Structure 1
Protein backbone atom coordinates (compact mmCIF):
# COMPACT_ATOMS: atom_id res chain seq x y z
CA UNK A 1 0.00 0.00 0.00
CA UNK A 2 2.86 2.34 0.82
CA UNK A 3 4.20 2.05 -2.74
CA UNK A 4 0.88 3.27 -4.14
CA UNK A 5 1.03 6.32 -1.86
CA UNK A 6 4.59 6.96 -3.06
CA UNK A 7 3.38 6.67 -6.65
CA UNK A 8 0.60 9.19 -5.93
CA UNK A 9 3.13 11.62 -4.46
CA UNK A 10 5.37 11.14 -7.51
CA UNK A 11 2.45 11.87 -9.85
CA UNK A 12 1.38 15.01 -7.99
CA UNK A 13 4.95 16.32 -7.81
CA UNK A 14 5.49 15.67 -11.52
CA UNK A 15 2.23 17.43 -12.42
CA UNK A 16 3.19 20.45 -10.30
CA UNK A 17 6.65 20.55 -11.88
CA UNK A 18 5.34 20.21 -15.43
CA UNK A 19 2.71 22.88 -14.83
CA UNK A 20 5.45 25.13 -13.46
CA UNK A 21 7.42 24.82 -16.70
CA UNK A 22 5.02 27.20 -18.44
CA UNK A 23 5.18 29.69 -15.57
CA UNK A 24 9.00 29.54 -15.54
CA UNK A 25 9.05 31.03 -19.05
CA UNK A 26 12.06 29.03 -20.17
CA UNK A 27 13.66 29.12 -16.72
CA UNK A 28 13.81 32.93 -16.76
CA UNK A 29 11.56 33.30 -13.68
CA UNK A 30 13.25 32.28 -10.42
CA UNK A 31 10.41 30.95 -8.25
CA UNK A 32 8.62 28.91 -10.92
CA UNK A 33 12.01 27.53 -12.00
CA UNK A 34 12.77 26.43 -8.44
CA UNK A 35 9.31 24.85 -8.25
CA UNK A 36 10.07 22.85 -11.41
CA UNK A 37 13.42 21.62 -10.06
CA UNK A 38 11.97 20.72 -6.65
CA UNK A 39 8.92 19.07 -8.19
CA UNK A 40 10.91 16.83 -10.52
CA UNK A 41 13.37 15.97 -7.74
CA UNK A 42 10.51 14.88 -5.48
CA UNK A 43 8.76 13.08 -8.35
CA UNK A 44 11.77 10.98 -9.31
CA UNK A 45 12.68 10.24 -5.70
CA UNK A 46 9.20 8.95 -4.89
CA UNK A 47 9.00 7.08 -8.21
CA UNK A 48 12.24 5.32 -7.27
CA UNK A 49 10.70 4.28 -3.93
CA UNK A 50 7.67 2.96 -5.77
CA UNK A 51 9.85 0.65 -7.83
CA UNK A 52 10.76 -1.40 -4.76
CA UNK A 53 7.35 -3.12 -5.01
CA UNK A 54 5.67 -2.13 -8.28
CA UNK A 55 7.21 -3.27 -11.59
CA UNK A 56 8.87 -0.42 -13.50
CA UNK A 57 6.67 -0.79 -16.59
CA UNK A 58 3.47 -0.67 -14.57
CA UNK A 59 4.60 2.20 -12.35
CA UNK A 60 5.80 4.24 -15.31
CA UNK A 61 2.62 3.61 -17.30
CA UNK A 62 0.47 4.83 -14.43
CA UNK A 63 2.80 7.75 -13.62
CA UNK A 64 3.01 8.95 -17.21
CA UNK A 65 -0.64 8.31 -18.06
CA UNK A 66 -2.04 10.09 -15.04
CA UNK A 67 0.49 12.89 -15.51
CA UNK A 68 -0.65 13.46 -19.10
CA UNK A 69 -4.31 13.60 -18.11
CA UNK A 70 -3.79 15.85 -15.08
CA UNK A 71 -1.47 18.26 -16.91
CA UNK A 72 -3.96 18.54 -19.78
CA UNK A 73 -6.77 19.28 -17.32
CA UNK A 74 -4.68 21.87 -15.49
CA UNK A 75 -3.74 23.46 -18.82
CA UNK A 76 -7.44 23.71 -19.59
CA UNK A 77 -8.41 25.05 -16.15
CA UNK A 78 -5.52 27.44 -15.48
CA UNK A 79 -4.20 28.41 -18.89
CA UNK A 80 -7.44 28.20 -20.86
CA UNK A 81 -6.00 25.67 -23.32
CA UNK A 82 -8.61 24.01 -25.51
CA UNK A 83 -9.44 20.34 -25.20
CA UNK A 84 -11.10 19.06 -28.36
CA UNK A 85 -13.04 15.83 -28.72
CA UNK A 86 -9.96 13.85 -29.76
CA UNK A 87 -8.11 15.03 -26.64
CA UNK A 88 -10.97 14.10 -24.33
CA UNK A 89 -11.34 10.67 -25.98
CA UNK A 90 -7.59 10.09 -25.75
CA UNK A 91 -7.55 11.02 -22.07
CA UNK A 92 -10.50 8.68 -21.44
CA UNK A 93 -8.53 5.89 -23.11
CA UNK A 94 -5.50 6.65 -20.93
CA UNK A 95 -7.63 6.51 -17.78
CA UNK A 96 -9.20 3.27 -19.01
CA UNK A 97 -5.75 1.81 -19.64
CA UNK A 98 -4.59 2.73 -16.14
CA UNK A 99 -7.74 1.15 -14.69
CA UNK A 100 -7.21 -2.06 -16.70
CA UNK A 101 -3.62 -2.29 -15.47
CA UNK A 102 -4.67 -1.78 -11.86
CA UNK A 103 -7.67 -4.08 -11.92
CA UNK A 104 -6.59 -6.94 -14.14
CA UNK A 105 -2.82 -7.11 -14.50
CA UNK A 106 -1.09 -9.95 -12.73
CA UNK A 107 2.07 -7.77 -12.77
CA UNK A 108 0.61 -5.40 -10.20
CA UNK A 109 0.81 -6.21 -6.51
CA UNK A 110 -2.81 -5.86 -5.35
Structure 2
Protein backbone atom coordinates (compact mmCIF):
# COMPACT_ATOMS: atom_id res chain seq x y z
CA UNK A 1 0.00 0.00 0.00
CA UNK A 2 2.86 2.41 0.76
CA UNK A 3 4.09 2.13 -2.85
CA UNK A 4 0.65 2.96 -4.22
CA UNK A 5 0.50 6.00 -1.93
CA UNK A 6 3.99 7.03 -3.06
CA UNK A 7 3.00 6.71 -6.72
CA UNK A 8 -0.04 8.88 -6.00
CA UNK A 9 2.14 11.46 -4.25
CA UNK A 10 4.52 11.57 -7.21
CA UNK A 11 1.75 11.86 -9.80
CA UNK A 12 -0.01 14.57 -7.78
CA UNK A 13 3.20 16.57 -7.46
CA UNK A 14 4.03 16.26 -11.16
CA UNK A 15 0.48 17.27 -12.10
CA UNK A 16 0.72 20.30 -9.82
CA UNK A 17 4.11 21.30 -11.23
CA UNK A 18 2.95 21.02 -14.83
CA UNK A 19 -0.23 22.92 -13.95
CA UNK A 20 1.91 25.71 -12.49
CA UNK A 21 3.41 26.22 -15.95
CA UNK A 22 -0.04 26.01 -17.58
CA UNK A 23 -1.40 28.56 -15.07
CA UNK A 24 0.87 31.22 -16.55
CA UNK A 25 -1.46 31.29 -19.57
CA UNK A 26 -4.66 30.16 -17.87
CA UNK A 27 -5.00 31.14 -14.19
CA UNK A 28 -7.74 28.52 -13.65
CA UNK A 29 -4.92 25.95 -13.44
CA UNK A 30 -3.91 27.43 -10.08
CA UNK A 31 -6.77 25.39 -8.59
CA UNK A 32 -5.08 22.22 -9.88
CA UNK A 33 -1.76 23.45 -8.48
CA UNK A 34 -3.17 23.84 -4.96
CA UNK A 35 -5.08 20.56 -5.05
CA UNK A 36 -2.11 18.68 -6.54
CA UNK A 37 0.46 19.87 -4.02
CA UNK A 38 -1.95 19.39 -1.11
CA UNK A 39 -2.70 15.83 -2.25
CA UNK A 40 0.97 15.13 -2.83
CA UNK A 41 2.06 16.13 0.67
CA UNK A 42 -0.91 14.34 2.21
CA UNK A 43 -0.08 11.14 0.35
CA UNK A 44 3.60 11.48 1.24
CA UNK A 45 2.60 11.73 4.90
CA UNK A 46 0.59 8.54 4.43
CA UNK A 47 3.66 6.82 3.00
CA UNK A 48 5.64 7.79 6.09
CA UNK A 49 2.84 6.50 8.34
CA UNK A 50 3.04 3.17 6.51
CA UNK A 51 6.68 2.87 7.55
CA UNK A 52 8.78 3.88 4.56
CA UNK A 53 11.81 5.85 5.76
CA UNK A 54 11.84 9.59 5.14
CA UNK A 55 15.12 9.57 3.20
CA UNK A 56 13.95 6.87 0.83
CA UNK A 57 10.40 8.18 0.45
CA UNK A 58 11.41 11.77 -0.16
CA UNK A 59 14.27 10.74 -2.44
CA UNK A 60 12.10 8.53 -4.63
CA UNK A 61 9.36 11.17 -4.65
CA UNK A 62 11.79 13.89 -5.70
CA UNK A 63 13.77 11.85 -8.24
CA UNK A 64 10.78 10.43 -10.05
CA UNK A 65 9.03 13.79 -9.81
CA UNK A 66 11.96 15.55 -11.48
CA UNK A 67 12.30 12.86 -14.13
CA UNK A 68 8.61 12.82 -15.04
CA UNK A 69 8.39 16.61 -14.98
CA UNK A 70 11.36 16.98 -17.35
CA UNK A 71 9.94 14.51 -19.85
CA UNK A 72 6.32 15.66 -19.65
CA UNK A 73 7.31 19.33 -19.90
CA UNK A 74 9.18 18.46 -23.09
CA UNK A 75 6.16 16.62 -24.48
CA UNK A 76 3.43 19.03 -23.34
CA UNK A 77 5.19 22.41 -23.47
CA UNK A 78 7.94 21.70 -25.99
CA UNK A 79 10.68 22.42 -23.47
CA UNK A 80 14.19 21.35 -24.41
CA UNK A 81 15.83 18.26 -22.95
CA UNK A 82 19.57 18.77 -23.21
CA UNK A 83 22.35 16.26 -22.62
CA UNK A 84 23.33 18.18 -19.46
CA UNK A 85 19.77 17.86 -18.16
CA UNK A 86 19.86 14.12 -18.81
CA UNK A 87 23.11 13.85 -16.87
CA UNK A 88 21.51 15.76 -14.01
CA UNK A 89 18.44 13.53 -13.98
CA UNK A 90 20.68 10.45 -14.01
CA UNK A 91 22.67 11.87 -11.08
CA UNK A 92 19.49 12.54 -9.09
CA UNK A 93 18.29 8.99 -9.68
CA UNK A 94 21.74 7.61 -8.82
CA UNK A 95 21.79 9.62 -5.60
CA UNK A 96 18.39 8.28 -4.58
CA UNK A 97 19.57 4.73 -5.28
CA UNK A 98 22.58 5.33 -3.04
CA UNK A 99 20.34 6.62 -0.24
CA UNK A 100 17.94 3.69 -0.61
CA UNK A 101 20.66 1.04 -0.76
CA UNK A 102 22.55 2.69 2.08
CA UNK A 103 19.46 2.66 4.27
CA UNK A 104 19.60 -1.14 4.36
CA UNK A 105 23.16 -1.34 5.69
CA UNK A 106 23.96 -1.96 9.33
CA UNK A 107 24.03 1.26 11.37
CA UNK A 108 27.48 2.43 12.40
CA UNK A 109 28.57 1.67 15.93
CA UNK A 110 28.52 4.62 18.30
CA UNK A 111 32.09 5.82 19.05
CA UNK A 112 33.50 4.58 22.35
CA UNK A 113 34.00 8.12 23.71
CA UNK A 114 30.29 8.83 23.16
CA UNK A 115 29.31 5.72 25.14
CA UNK A 116 31.58 6.71 28.02
CA UNK A 117 29.60 9.95 28.50
CA UNK A 118 26.31 8.07 28.86
What TM-score comes out, normalization by structure 2 length? 0.78
Structure 1, unaligned runs of 5 or more: none
RMSD, matched Cα: 1.9
Gaps of 5+ in 2: 106-118
Which residue is equivalent to 1:83? 81
Shift of 1:89: 1.4
The total of aligned residue pairs comes to 104
**3-state SS of paired residue (1:51):** helix
Flag the structure with larger Rg.
Answer: 2
Q: What is the rounded CA distance, in whole Å, between the counterparts of 1:40 and 1:24 in structure 2?
A: 14
Indicate whether 1:61 and 2:59 are aligned.
yes
The correspondence for 2:32, drawn from 21, 35, 44, is 35
The alignment's TM-score, normalised by the length of structure 1, stands at: 0.83
